[in-house]
Amino acid sequence: MDNYGITYFGIKMDWDLLSGFFSMHLVTWLLFLVMLTNYVRTSNVYAACSVKAERKEVLRLSAVVCCSYALMMPIEYLVAFFDYYSHYFPYTVYFLLDICTLFFINFFIKLKSTKAVLCKRYVTLCLSCNSVLFLLLQVDLLFMHNGLKPFEAWWFWDIFTIGVNFFDAVMILVLLIHKDLLKLNRFLLNRKRVKPVL
């Protein structure tokens, strides 16, 4: 037996492969747990009807975001299964999934409650920022693959890594606690109060 595999109930398991899979899809698993938490909140029998309706709206929003992130798992599996390689994978797929999720949330999910609208604003902001970062990184990698710039790490890669993880964490926290973490509502209200000078 090597250091990376162990037999568990008669099945040889590769722990490196499993740990790599879980760390790559940690955000998806956290979004799934947030969705389950929001589902449990909707089943509170002592809550008022308006509170239940508000919680169901947040549940719908968290379910859409979780499904969007979970779609990447079968796509990555199919790419690995067919041994497909492209300079456009996976960042273009992440970009397209974020854009499709934004489109679906903003055109097909109607929200009325204050908490759900707050969560929708944060999800829209975070997915928009992530999609811009994915697009910029994909363009950067295409420049490198086409020989227009040297293939070496630079400061944007650090910004990409920190930015995507930051926006994912903000989205997860807002869907979980339903609070205005970055004071986005206050910023929007202040902008509405300031009238343009003619």
Give yes or no for residue 6 having a pLDDT over 70: no
User: Quick one: tokens of 132?
Assistant: 């811009």
pLDDT band at 1 (very low <50, low <70, confident <90, very high): very low
pLDDT tens by residue, 65-84: 999 999 988 888 887 777 77
Kindly report whether the global pTM for this prediction surpasses the value 0.85.
no
Could you give the count of Cα atoms lying within 13 Å of 1 in the half-sphere of its Cβ?
11
Greatest Cα pair distance, the chain, in angstroms, is: 77
Let me know: does 99 contact 81? Beta carbons within 8 Å.
no
Find the length of the chain: 198
Q: Mean pLDDT for the chain?
A: 85
